[in-house]
Structure 1
């Protein structure tokens, strides 16, 4: 199993949690972004710099993810692609997407996009909070406890 992080917009707190989990469990962590990121020196942690084109990081992650891998992202279409390839997705706010849950989230995302397209202000996501950080850490811990070494 590998963990991939869609790192362009990921909160620093999420990256720090992933660094610690990767080191502790010796699970490979790959950060993917179109801007350079500083990462800790570790044989378990790597960084892939993709070009700045639309969906470049998404395409790279989708091309690399294998059955059972974990991707961390808020990008619902990327999550759908990952799940369809047998991967799992955890959002930075601690929601786990599987084959059973991603379609509902994709429908909701499409509805919100349609509403925005018709001029309705749907607002944006709330700022990342300590509660979100804790939810992410707990979800990641549950997932890794159930899947690492199995």
Structure 2
């Protein structure tokens, strides 16, 4: 088990920025906990603990939600999990580098619900744009900013 410092908890099943997270936590003196199902094998590396859970569709989210501590940074694109992270006191960052706040979450959940209703009714909804290098860079900058800010707050 990695000792607790500043920690990034990752919903690892569909996370496209795992390498950026590993690099950033090492450079900031933090740690990462990457959680994924058996379908998405991850490899532990220095500063990165890996937990593999059952392939059940909510197993990763449940593990992540239960592992979160106040002042963790949660990386997820799942707005339901993001809401749980905010309730637990975590900062929430999407893989595209968007910081989700308490003032954002209700609207994001409402949009998710609306889109799901449309899909169930047979409508096609537009997916996200292709992931870009700019998205990776934005994410890494925001994660670095969050982790360094946490270090400064802890030492003041």
Q: Same fold (TM over 0.5)?
A: yes
Aligned residues: 146
- Report the 3-state secondary structure (helix = DSSP H, G, I; strand = E; otherwise coil) of the residue aligned with 1:5: strand
Residue 10 of structure 2: which of 5, 11, 25 is its match? 5
Indicate the residue corresponding to 2:3 in structure 1: none
Using the size of structure 2 for normalisation, the TM-score is: 0.87
Provide structure 1 residue ranges, at least 5 long, that are not aligned to the other structure: none
Cα shift at 1:149:
4.0
Indicate the residue corresponding to 1:39 in structure 2: 44
Indicate the residue corresponding to 1:54 in structure 2: 57
Map of 1:1-150 to 2, 5 A cutoff? Answer: 1-11=6-16, 14-35=17-38, 36-40=41-45, 42=46, 44-150=47-153
Structure 1 CA distance, aligned partners of 2:128 and 2:148? 29
Provide structure 2 residue ranges, at least 5 long, that are not aligned to the other structure: 1-5
- Report the 3-state secondary structure (helix = DSSP H, G, I; strand = E; otherwise coil) of the residue aligned with 1:122: coil
CA RMSD of superposed structures (Å)? 1.4
- Divergent runs of 4+, >2 A: none
Using the size of structure 1 for normalisation, the TM-score is: 0.90
Structure 2 CA distance, aligned partners of 1:3 and 1:38? 16
- What's the CA shift string for 1:93-136, capped at 9, x where partnerless? 11111222212211111111112122221121222111211221
